[in-house]
């Protein structure tokens, strides 16, 4: 444990010592929040209002039993405000995941720096297992990912309050924190496995650019998963990052969904969940929280083990 703690402490101190690195990670977070709220907010709000109008037309022509309606009283005057609250909740959930990924990638850059500078060879020579070495880098990245994800939620909630919204409840905040930790573990373990292949900073930069580009699409931030080709949605359902994003969105939007679609057929919620990728199917089964937990946790453990094996082989190869 002493070796593990030393690696974690060293990585965090070295990363935080680089003020520019920390600054640009924060700047990236703020830019993403601003872009999503300003440019993609209206598009997603229109999607919600289109579903509301469609369901309103159905109710004009069909008598729907009360048990098939979303509980609550329909108030068309609040459609715009309710739709905006729902979309902001969706955006905050997505931004939290994406910024957590960015923070992980920033910390994992330590691996390529140590590889290129030769410091990693010192770890190989030390009497510590490869699993402890991998755990040190991964836990450092998980810690930073959790910190930046929590900051993202706090900043986003402040913006919501300033724009007339309400803060999330304590119960929801605890659920969000648990999901942040689980997502950080699952995502970081996978990213470490990928980035451990990089032997130089330039190689790492190439990999990180690729990850940054894809993360917004994999999590459904830039394009809703529901409007992607069916085959793409089926593939994304097996990616823990996508499942984590879907689960986070469900937690953030549980109240906003019922408020926005109050008095409308329950199909409105299922249709919106399908379009936005909150309901991802593995085969013909919609993923449940239990399935998502198993997939994310198991994948994290798997990639930790694979990374340890890769590091051990790299140690032998580099001698």
**DSSP annotation string for 65-107:** -GGGBPSS---GGGHHHHHHHHHHHHHHHHHHHHHHHHHHHHH
Spatial separation of the C-alpha atoms in residues 182 and 244, rounded to whole Å: 8
Question: Which whole number is the average pLDDT over 159-180?
Answer: 84
pTM: predicted TM-score of the whole model, two decimal places: 0.85
Predicted pLDDT of residue 120: 63
Spatial separation of the C-alpha atoms in residues 251 and 90, rounded to whole Å: 10
Predicted pLDDT of residue 24: 66
Residues 6 or more apart whose Cβ sits within 8 Å of residue 117? none
Residues 6 or more apart whose Cβ sits within 8 Å of residue 203? 112, 197
Predicted pLDDT of residue 175: 92
Predicted pLDDT of residue 316: 43
Q: Which of 2-11, 30-39, 100-109, 182-191 has the lowest mean pLDDT?
A: 30-39
More confident residue, 159 or 126: 159
Predicted pLDDT of residue 254: 87
Predicted pLDDT of residue 28: 64
User: Do 131 and 181 form a contact (C-beta atoms < 8 A)?
Assistant: no
More confident residue, 297 or 162: 297
Q: Which of 54-63, 93-102, 136-145, 192-201 has the lowest mean pLDDT?
A: 192-201
Instruction: Tell me what the pLDDT averaged over the chain comes to.
Output: 80
Kindly tell me if the per-residue pLDDT of 319 is higher than 50.
Answer: no
């Amino acid at each position: 444990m002493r070796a593990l703690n030393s690696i974690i402490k060293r990585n965090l101190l070295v990363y935080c010592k680089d003020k520019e690195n920390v600054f640009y990670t924060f700047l990236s977070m703020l830019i993403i929040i601003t872009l999503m709220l300003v440019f993609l907010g209206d598009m997603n709000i229109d999607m919600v209002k289109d579903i509301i109008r469609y369901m309103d037309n159905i109710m004009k022509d069909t008598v729907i039993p009360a048990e098939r309606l979303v509980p609550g009283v329909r108030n068309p005057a609040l459609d715009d405000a309710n739709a905006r609250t729902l979309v902001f909740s969706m955006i905050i959930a997505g931004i939290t995941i994406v910024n957590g990924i960015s923070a992980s990638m920033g910390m994992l850059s330590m691996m390529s720096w140590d590889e290129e500078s030769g410091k990693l060879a010192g770890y190989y020579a030390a009497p510590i297992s490869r699993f402890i070495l991998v755990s040190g880098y991964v836990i450092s990245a998980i810690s930073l990912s959790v910190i930046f994800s929590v900051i993202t939620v706090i900043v986003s909630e402040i913006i919501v309050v300033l724009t007339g919204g309400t803060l999330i409840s304590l119960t929801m905040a605890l659920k969000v924190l648990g999901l942040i930790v689980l997502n950080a573990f699952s995502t970081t373990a996978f990213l470490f496995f990928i980035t451990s292949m990089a032997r130089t900073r330039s190689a790492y930069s190439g990999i990180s650019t690729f990850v940054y580009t894809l993360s917004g699409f994999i999590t459904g931030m830039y394009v809703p998963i529901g409007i992607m080709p069916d085959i793409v949605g089926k593939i994304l359902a097996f990616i823990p990052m996508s499942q984590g994003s879907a689960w986070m969105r469900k937690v953030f939007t549980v109240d906003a969904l019922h408020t926005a679609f109050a008095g409308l057929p329950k199909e409105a919620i299922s249709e919106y969940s399908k379009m936005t990728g909150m309901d991802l199917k593995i085969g013909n089964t919609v993923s449940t929280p239990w399935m998502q937990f198993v997939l994310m946790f198991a994948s994290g453990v798997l990639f930790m083990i694979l990374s340890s094996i890769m590091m051990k082989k790299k140690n032998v190869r580099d001698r």
